[in-house]
Structure 1
Amino acid sequence: MIVRKLLAAGAMLLAATAAVSAQGLEKPSITLGGGEKPLLYYLPLTLAERLGHFKEQGLTVEVQDFGGGAKSLQALVGGSVDAVTGAYEHTIRMQAKGQDVRAVIDLGRYPGVVLAVRKDKADAIKSVADLKGAKIGVTAPGSSTFILAQYLMTKAGLDPKSASFIGVGGGASAVAAMQKGEIDAISHLEPVITKLESLDAIKVLVDTRTTKGTMDTFGASNPAAVLYLKKEFIDANPKTVQALVNAFAKTLKWLQSATPEQVADAVPEPYWLGDKALYLKALAASRDTYSPDGTIDPASMKSMLDLLTATDPQLDAGSIDLAKTFDGSFLKNASVK
């Protein structure tokens, strides 16, 4: 396929460019954490890796897939990874805990999370307000899919503790959990949602893949996947962080003009869940979620803070300095040539 041929043809050139670029980096080899990488939530990470954008910047990036965003955060705090592609919300939570973790580029401007009910439960669960007592599948407890489901329940006047949350992972395991009747509802991402829709297994209740769905839910954009790091790492390795931001900025630019076919051909085939046509449909449904420029505006930051305070009464909004959750200086200096 065209994209795969281009990747192979450019491999030698990338290697030569990387050797030159790496000379000025403080840490040319880094470990980057993610959660359930095949999900479209993490598409910019997969593309940056597969298109050679890390290598172009002189970076050797080892991606560790932890199966959930909360686990990636734990790895960063524990020091086993240098950076994380994960939910923006973690920068706020960590500040509340006295730890300075900052996003340096936004990859997803909308959550892309869909809350849906199992089709045979649709008559009983017609809205979020009917989820009391339900078993809700999420990628992992503490993840963005978990937090959004809690927020929606709180917004509907329900105590999130009135439902059970079950970690179902991503991909085939999440689909199987729904098909086997192990869960009544699911808060999840693409391509899992499109796969379940193709099986006529779910009825969508809330959809944050689109501009309208996100605005209806939050009243503003709501940052999703970002690249975040500890402030101490940023300060000690500014050239390395700039290289990472350059790679992701170029990936976002590529994604804006790439066709669904080009995107599908650039990712590993197992990500298609055995159905390329379905993957293309999932891409189309998720296209709006990706950030066109990598920035996060104050209104979007406030939208996320409101979500977190609604689900966590112990989080003191007044103690959070949102300006310290996002460092846009690297993005301003990003080179995407």
Structure 2
Amino acid sequence: MKRRTFIASGAVLAGGALSGAPLAFAQAKPEQSKVAIAVGGKNLFYYLPLTIAERRNYFKDEGLDVEISDFAGGAKALQAAVGGSADVVSGAYEHTLLLQAKNQMFREFVLQGRAPQIVLAVSKKTMPNYKSIADLKGKKIGVTAPGSSTSIMASFVLAKAGLTASDVAFIGVGAGAGAIAALQSGQIDALANLDPVMTKLERSGEIRIVSDTRTLADTKSVFGGNMPAGCLYASQSFITKNPNTTQALTNAMVRALKWLQTASGTDLISTVPEGYLLGDRALYLDSWQHVKEALSPDGLMPADGPATALKTLQAFDQTVKGKPIDLSKTWTNDFVKKALVTVKA
């Protein structure tokens, strides 16, 4: 019996070492205490768990000194990781698939959102007679940044209507006041963005929503299944070299996700930076109610999520079409499963 137990333990050790998964008896101390995280549009609810983990000192509690750099969009944050100036990205899961298509192995290890929260809307000012997606041909669509998850969502909606990305002009407008100003001034005809930006424009009567992924039902209607959204991902080499650091990051994020499940509006307002509120606390709380369901309650990747993301990209992205993507190498629930056993809200 003792010999069988020893062999089984050895198998777990070998499997964990090969996959980069956390070991049940790994030392708690992070291999790398200083971690650089890149994010594109940190003020968005899409990345709210990251802000909560930072503001409530959950990263520090795990022995980490985290530096978060905010970029105009997810594609820019991704470039920081590929270029070596960031260790980890808080971004869209789809980017791990796009990277593998270019022979760069990155892996998601904790999910922040189980729905994209992205809204595609047209400007009532420049497109008052809008009738269908086909009317967007030749128009300017604002996105957080070209190549980001907002442009991916818009491209997929266009593809379903028989249009391609080349039929429109994607304009990077960021994820805050700049996006609002671009639509209000008529610089763009449509906007693919997230809350609180979209709720603000919707409440002021300046947009008409044509596609919405803020709820699980709407997301399944648009994508045909569960569509994973924001997550923490890193290169496989980083995860393999730093399993304890990766576990510490996951612990902090899972703790933030748990906190968000029971936090009151007052708790939220008192935690996030004032600048996130766009000058309107009531608006921010209203937006929060729109997207609360979209945040992951536990950090786990849904079983059908990776396949839905791949199918979405294959519908329009030439980078992925025809490429043999190994989905199993783009995500793992191993770190989250361990965190769920040990982490308290």
* One-letter amino acid of the structure 2 residue matched with residue 283 of structure 1: W
Is 1:50 equivalent to 2:50 in the alignment?
Answer: no
Aligned amino acid, residue 43 of structure 2: P
Q: RMSD in angstroms over aligned alpha carbons?
A: 1.4
Give unpaired runs (5+ residues) of structure 2. Answer: 1-26
Would the aligned equivalents of 1:57 and 1:244 in 2 still touch at CA under 8 Å? yes
**Which of the residues 293, 318, 327 maps onto 1:322?**
327
Cα deviation for residue 316 of structure 1 reads 3.7
- Tell me if the contact between 2:106 and 2:234 (Cα under 8 Å) persists in the aligned partners: yes
**C-alpha distance 206-23 of structure 1, shift in aligned 2 (>3 A):** closer
Shift in Å, 1:209: 0.2
Residue 68 of structure 2: SS of its match in structure 1? strand
1:98 — aligned with what? 103
Q: How does 1:298-337 map to 2 (within 5 A)?
A: 298-316=303-321, 319-334=324-339, 335-337=342-344
Aligned partner of 1:185 in structure 2 is: 190
Say whether residues 1:160 and 2:201 are aligned partners: no
What CA distance in whole angstroms lies between the structure 1 residues aligned with 2:319 and 2:41? 29
What displacement does 1:120 show? 2.8
Aligned to 2:236: 231
Worse-matched range after superposition: 183-192 or 258-267: 258-267
Please give the alpha-carbon distance, in whole angstroms, between the structure 1 residues aligned to 2:273 and 2:44.
12
**Which residue matches 2:178?**
173
Q: Percent identity?
A: 49
The Cα of 1:188 is off from its aligned counterpart by: 0.4
Please name the residue that 2:148 is paired with.
143
Trace 1:115-130 onto structure 2 (pairs within 5 A).
115-130=120-135
Unaligned runs of 5+ in 1: 1-21
User: Which residue of structure 2 lines up, in the alignment, with residue 37 of structure 1?
Assistant: 42
Could you tell me whether the CA contact under 8 Å between 2:254 and 2:298 is conserved in 1? yes
2:281 to 265, 276, 299: 276
CA distance in 2, matches of 1:323, 1:329: 12
Deviation, 1:314, is: 4.3
* Aligned equivalent of 1:218, options 216, 220, 223: 223
What's the counterpart of residue 13 of structure 2? none
Distance 1:303 1:265 in 2: 36
Change in 2 beyond 3 A, CA 1:195/1:295: same
Give the CA deviation at 1:318: 5.6
Deviation per CA, 1:226-257, whole angstroms, max 9, x where unpaired? Answer: 10001001011111100000000011111111
TM-score between the two structures when normalised by the length of structure 1: 0.91
1:183-220 per-residue CA deviation (whole Å, 9 max, x = no partner) reads 11000001100111122110111110012210110121
User: Structure 1 residue 70: deviation in Å?
Assistant: 0.5
Q: Following the alignment from structure 2 to structure 1, what is the Cα–Cα distance between the partners of residues 262 and 191? A: 31
The whole-number CA distance in structure 1 between the counterparts of 2:321 and 2:135 is 29
Aligned residues: 316
Partner residue of 1:198? 203
* 2:150–2:192 CA contact under 8 A, matched in 1: yes
Q: Find the residue that maps to 1:311 and give its secondary structure.
A: coil
AA of the residue aligned to 1:169:
G
The one-letter amino acid paired with 2:309 is M
Q: Secondary structure at the match of 2:300?
A: coil
Once residues 177 and 276 of structure 1 are traced to their aligned partners in structure 2, the CA distance between those partners, rounded to angstroms, is 22
Secondary structure in 2 aligned to 1:151?
Answer: helix
80-89 or 195-204, which moves further after superposition?
A: 195-204
Structure-2-length-normalised TM-score: 0.89
